[in-house]
A and B are shown apart, each in its own frame.
Chain A
């Protein structure tokens, strides 16, 4: 449960988590194993279509939440269920405490409910003098330790078997060894006795089906079946977002939820309850009571929000945490308040308030892994940025981010600053190509990687001399440089230019182009992001070019996906921005898929190379093959690296804000690279080059790090 008051305090807690070796090792194993089991579970299925089904079913339900609630209530009432609606977390807790009091309840057993975690129900009931026992094994463990969950599906994933053994030794008063199968059996017996005695059972639910008044519970342990069966009172606490029109919607979600959560085709138990269940403690005892408490806590307002409504599509599978490189480094207690992972960063703002969300939303590296794995197709990285922007609009923008926004909006000022920074750095580069670079000129230093110096002459100054006319060109492209390549790595652009010209492409470099705007978008400066986008669309008229080509994957994905969103609703610029975005292509896609170049222009290298897939290329542009195919075309040997598509830890401004996390992600990445034995590491994004080259240098690795354009261009035959 993250509760740090300041960003500094948060960084401190993150630092402590990074030092927890058990956590780090467990998380590494989990990240790799999860990807494999998920792939197996979805084998031969069309994942995109299944996810689209879930998104459509949830969206339809969210459009008529109030209607579905009334329908559910009517049907459940008819079955003898008492249905309650709680506006706030506190109201829900009070309703449940009242039910307990009215029924003379002393002991309560619970099955897993994230909604009950959200309302801090246990604290409330214990305060009322009730004895509450969690019966999901992981939940019981963290309850005994007085902790919050560190994962939505595996709440005790941060603990070792030894910690559990020590805990169970305390609980039973008997020595327990740390053999997991035995610990599980101890829990079985200890909890069975709690089931036998409890007066009330509290469950959550994964589905609330309006047209039959049925709730659905998805579990592996089966404890929810005992919780809903043995005590004479059953209370289900359910977020309003779990309402669905019919069984068919729930079944569609059920095809995706377990596969995405744990790589299971289905969980051991799925339970559908319609009305109070049969209850036989004695022939004459009281009848079973069933209450359903629906929790609003901001959900109805959220469902009407044009930007954020999709947050409520979440089916709580936890996959966004499973694939997050930051979660993997710091664990769930540092990556959410109560809800964990990318979705947790977002809903914390809506369910628990700005105070709790302020630091968390800044800890997204924007690699897009969560979006690619989401069971409901939620655009999580974008929504995290939106929450960040909203908090800054509410609280005022920090100086750093305002400065960056002001500077970036004014291309001349921005470029003048970069030029003066180039002059200012001269005394400290020591004649090397390393120092520090933009946009970190506004941030404090960090030394886990060597940072490059700003180039003596940016690409834009070299362009007039480089401009090459191509007779009968195959196509005409505008080159979008992005600021890193323009000012730090102009040689990458020169290499790209040589490749394009050698393959009959007419290249233009429109001089009025500026930064793509991603750095300001990452800092929650939406207005500046729009201003910069408008400038670029004005600078590069899409009607004059067949393609707009960039060698920076982050620029490509921002230009392609963010520009239509940022400018789409502006009547004059909107259509132009759409046309602009549609023409954006990464260099590798143009060369491999569009021009389909062969090896004629190259002399084969034979050097053993490996590849790092930039996040914004493999996920941002959904391009997984072109760079490697081009490396094969030019005759490089290839030794694949483990976790090729996992983030390198750069994340632009992220690595300036959370250097310790960035450094840890990089260390893991470099170890995977080192294990390939390759002499050359190729990637297609200047940000990744900066991170990987700087890290490899600092670590004293022998490997050469090159942008794809450089690796290919150096194999061009001299006469081309």
Chain B
């Protein structure tokens, strides 16, 4: 248990160093509370941050008009969890969807995913993204909320090599390491967040219930 604590601390420190928000939760219900709260507090015009408020060419502008309602995408949730989350979203007037996310390229407010592994050394989430919906949920959402069971934390990538290989060898394997939000420093080396992918990454470290 003591070693686990060191891993948790390292993970949190490293993830926060790349501006991820790290919080502890006990169980999925608390994770749902967190995501919904975030979605509700998120301003309706949050898309401003994603560029719709900017002067755009006509083609790019058209994409902005497609989005009407706040959207949470939660592909790959087990049925029971999905039902619970759906009920909560319906009450709040939020659209919960799992597919096809291609219809939401204008943007999703929150992508909600389950991480398969966490790598403490770098504060990295490992997410099996073989499903196209998982890939899109973690890319086109403005905020990515990922639940990471604490038992899935590993010291570094080399220590997790055997597990990583297993994910990789699945047919149509698409494995993602995600560390912090999408970033660029391509203009004058000034850090800018959210160039293509999420503007924020929230990691919910989940204790086993």
Are A and B physically bound partners?
yes
Give A212 to B175 CA distance when docked, in angstroms: 13
Residues in chain B near residue A183, CB distance under 8 A: 187
Give A254 to B156 CA distance when docked, in angstroms: 11
Would A274 and B184 count as touching, CB distance under 8 A? no
Tell me if A501 counts as interface (CB < 8 A to partner B): no
- Asked whether A172 and B158 contact (CB < 8 A) given A214-B173, A225-B135, A272-B174, the answer is no
Tell me if B182 counts as interface (CB < 8 A to partner A): yes
- Asked whether A189 and B52 contact (CB < 8 A) given A229-B136, A268-B178, A271-B176, the answer is yes
Give A274 to B172 CA distance when docked, in angstroms: 6
Q: Which of A79, A228, A272 is most buried by chain B, counting CB atoms within 10 A of its CB?
A: A272
Give A188 to B186 CA distance when docked, in angstroms: 13
Convert B47-61 into 0s and 1s, putting 1 for each residue whose CB lies closer than 8 angstroms to a CB of A: 001111011111110
B59 (CB) vs chain A CBs: closest residue:
A193
Q: Which of A153-161, A551-559, A666-674 contacts B (4 or more CB under 8 A)?
A: A153-161
- Asked whether A161 and B188 contact (CB < 8 A) given A172-B55, A187-B195, A265-B122, the answer is yes
Tell me if A175 counts as interface (CB < 8 A to partner B): yes
Choose one: A136, A164, A189, A221; the contact of B187 (CB below 8 Å). A164
- Asked whether A79 and B171 contact (CB < 8 A) given A189-B63, A229-B139, the answer is yes
Would B60 and A192 count as touching, CB distance under 8 A? yes
Give A249 to B152 CA distance when docked, in angstroms: 23
Would A226 and B196 count as touching, CB distance under 8 A? yes
- B153 smallest CB distance to A (angstroms): 16
Q: Which of B110-131 contact A (CB under 8 A)?
A: 121-124, 130-131
Task: Kindly state the interface size class of chain A when it binds its partner.
Answer: 35 or more
Would B135 and A229 count as touching, CB distance under 8 A? yes
A163 (CB) vs chain B CBs: closest residue:
B187
Would B63 and A268 count as touching, CB distance under 8 A? no
Would B176 and A156 count as touching, CB distance under 8 A? no
Q: Which of B38-46, B89-97, B98-106 contacts A (4 or more CB under 8 A)?
A: B98-106
Task: Kindly state the interface size class of chain B when it binds its partner.
Answer: 35 or more
- Asked whether A277 and B172 contact (CB < 8 A) given A180-B192, A222-B182, the answer is yes
B48 (CB) vs chain A CBs: closest residue:
A185
Would B131 and A180 count as touching, CB distance under 8 A? no
Convert A183-197 into 0s and 1s, putting 1 for each residue whose CB lies closer than 8 angstroms to a CB of B: 111111111110110
Choose one: A187, A276, A280; the contact of B133 (CB below 8 Å). A280
Tell me if B18 counts as interface (CB < 8 A to partner A): yes
Give A271 to B135 CA distance when docked, in angstroms: 11
Tell me if B149 counts as interface (CB < 8 A to partner A): no
- Asked whether A251 and B157 contact (CB < 8 A) given A137-B195, A188-B194, A268-B180, the answer is yes
Give A273 to B168 CA distance when docked, in angstroms: 7
Residues in chain B near residue A604, CB distance under 8 A: none
Would B196 and A190 count as touching, CB distance under 8 A? no
- B122 smallest CB distance to A (angstroms): 4
Residues in chain A near residue B195, CB distance under 8 A: 137, 184, 187-188, 221-223
Would B183 and A221 count as touching, CB distance under 8 A? yes
Would A186 and B179 count as touching, CB distance under 8 A? no
Would B177 and A174 count as touching, CB distance under 8 A? no
Residues in chain A near residue B177, CB distance under 8 A: 266, 269-272
Convert B144-159 into 0s and 1s, putting 1 for each residue whose CB lies closer than 8 angstroms to a CB of A: 0000000000000110
Give A193 to B52 CA distance when docked, in angstroms: 12
Give A515 to B170 CA distance when docked, in angstroms: 63
Tell me if B2 counts as interface (CB < 8 A to partner A): no
Would A271 and B175 count as touching, CB distance under 8 A? yes
Choose one: A137, A157, A172, A223; the contact of B57 (CB below 8 Å). A172
Would A275 and B56 count as touching, CB distance under 8 A? no
Would B176 and A184 count as touching, CB distance under 8 A? no
- A82 smallest CB distance to B (angstroms): 15
Convert A242-264 into 0s and 1s, putting 1 for each residue whose CB lies closer than 8 angstroms to a CB of B: 00000110011011000000101
Would A185 and B51 count as touching, CB distance under 8 A? yes
Residues in chain B near residue A79, CB distance under 8 A: 171-173
Would B132 and A229 count as touching, CB distance under 8 A? yes
- A438 smallest CB distance to B (angstroms): 42
Tell me if A71 counts as interface (CB < 8 A to partner B): no
Tell me if A606 counts as interface (CB < 8 A to partner B): no
Give A254 to B64 CA distance when docked, in angstroms: 37
Residues in chain A near residue B178, CB distance under 8 A: 268-269
Give A704 to B149 CA distance when docked, in angstroms: 65
Tell me if B185 counts as interface (CB < 8 A to partner A): yes
Would A275 and B172 count as touching, CB distance under 8 A? yes
Would B133 and A247 count as touching, CB distance under 8 A? no
Residues in chain B near residue A30, CB distance under 8 A: 189
- Asked whether A193 and B189 contact (CB < 8 A) given A185-B50, A280-B133, the answer is no
Would B54 and A185 count as touching, CB distance under 8 A? yes
Would A157 and B194 count as touching, CB distance under 8 A? no
Would A248 and B55 count as touching, CB distance under 8 A? no
Would A271 and B174 count as touching, CB distance under 8 A? yes
Choose one: B99, B169, B183; the contact of A268 (CB below 8 Å). B183
Would A247 and B165 count as touching, CB distance under 8 A? yes
Residues in chain A near residue B194, CB distance under 8 A: 184-185, 188
- B63 smallest CB distance to A (angstroms): 5
B-contacting residues of A (Cβ < 8 Å)?
26, 29-30, 33, 79, 135-138, 141, 154-157, 159-161, 164, 171-176, 180-193, 195-196, 212, 214, 220-223, 225-226, 228-230, 247-248, 251-252, 254-255, 262, 264-281
The 10 A-B residue pairs with the shortest CB-CB distance in the complex, in nearest-first order: A174-B55, A274-B173, A138-B186, A185-B51, A222-B197, A189-B51, A270-B177, A184-B192, A137-B186, A266-B122
A-contacting residues of B (Cβ < 8 Å)?
14, 17-18, 49-52, 54-60, 62-64, 99-100, 102, 105-106, 121-124, 130-133, 135-136, 138-140, 157-158, 161, 164-165, 167-190, 192, 194-197
The 14 listed contacts between A and B (C-beta, < 8 Å) are: A173-B57, A187-B195, A189-B56, A193-B59, A193-B60, A212-B165, A220-B184, A228-B174, A247-B165, A251-B158, A266-B179, A274-B169, A278-B130, A280-B102
